[in-house]
Amino acid sequence: MQIPKESKILEIVDFALREDLGDGDHTSLATVPEDGTGKARLLVKDDGILAGVELAKMIFNRVDPDLLVEVLIEDGSKVKAGDIAFHVSGSSRSILSSERLVLNFMQRMSGIATKTYELAHLIEDLPTQLLDTRKTTPCVRLMEKWAVLIGGGNNHRFALYDMIMIKDNHIDYAGGIKNAITRTNQYLSKNGKDLRVEIETRNLDEVKQVLAVGDVDRIMLDNFSPEEIVEALKIIDTAHYETEASGGINESTLRAYAETGVDFISSGALTHSYQSLDLSLKAEFDL
C-alpha cells in the first residue's frame, strides 16, 4: 500500500490542530509543568484491523518533533482488546495536546479498515476488486481512503477532478446517453484532458445504448441483481470495457455479485457505515 502524499496529509492535520488547539491547550498549560515529561501507550479496546499508526506518528511530530514513538503493531495488523499499538514519550504537554486528534483519526480509520477487511475477505479468492466511493467525510477523505487501502480494499476515483463518471443525473440533464458520452469526449479533446470515463446504467436497455455509442472505459451496472449482471456481461465485450456493480450490495450479497465475473464492486458503506474501533491513549509513568 502506498502512503498518500505527506504534504496533503499535513494540510489536514494542521487544520485539525488549529480547530482543536485554538490559542492553546489551556488545561494542559494550567496543570502540567512546562518541563514535565511522560510516556503513554495506545491501548486497543476492540478486536479489528489497526489503521492510522503512520498518521499518528505524523501528528505527534507536527505537534512536537521531539516526541518519540515506539511502534509495536503496524498498520493493517489484526488486533484484539488489550493490545498495545505503540508508546509515545516526551513532553507531557505535547502528548496531551496530540491525544484527541490521534485518537479521532485512528478510531475512525481502524473502523473503516476493519469493515473493509471483513468485506474484502469474503471475495479474496475471486478476481473482483472491492472499491470505495466518494461517500466520505468532507475534508478528511484522504484519511478514509487510506484506511480502505490498509483494510485490503481499493480506491475508486478520489474526487470530481480525476475521473469522468457519468451518472444518472448527468445522463438526464444531458438529454440521454448518446449526448452525455458525445459531449464528454468532445470536452476531453477540447481541454486536453486524459481522464478515464465511466458511465452508470440503470437497466439492460441502457447498457445496450452505451454499447451502441462506445467511447467509455467502464460501465457501471447500478442496482442490478446478480442475475441481471450475468445477462449484461453476456453482451458486454469485457476485453474492451471494465464493469462495475454498485448499489445496495452488502455482506450477504457481496459474494454473489463477485461470482458474476464483474471487475469491480463499489461500496459506500466502507466509509459511511462502519463502527469506529475503541482506542485509548493512557499515561504510563513519568520518565
List residues with catalytic annotation. Answer: 100, 135, 167, 200, 222
Rounded to whole angstroms, the Cα distance separating 167 from 177 reads 10
Task: Please state whether 19 falls in left (phi above 0), alpha (psi between -120 and 50) or beta.
Answer: alpha
Rounded to whole angstroms, the Cα distance separating 46 from 43 reads 9
First to last CA, the chain: 36
Q: Which residue has the cell 473503516?
A: 112
Which of 134, 137, 130 has the alpha carbon at shortest distance from 151? 130
Q: Which residue has the cell 446504467?
A: 201
The 10 Å Cβ neighbour count of residue 121 is: 12
Q: Read off φ and ψ for residue 156, nearest 5 degrees.
A: -80, -165
All cell numbers assigned to 59: 501528528
Judge whether 142 and 275 are in contact, CB under 8 Å.
no
Q: What is the dihedral of CA 6, 8, 11, 14, to 10 degrees?
A: -30
In our burial notation (b when 16+ CB lie closer than 10 A, e otherwise), range 14-33 reads eebbeeeeeeebeebeeebe
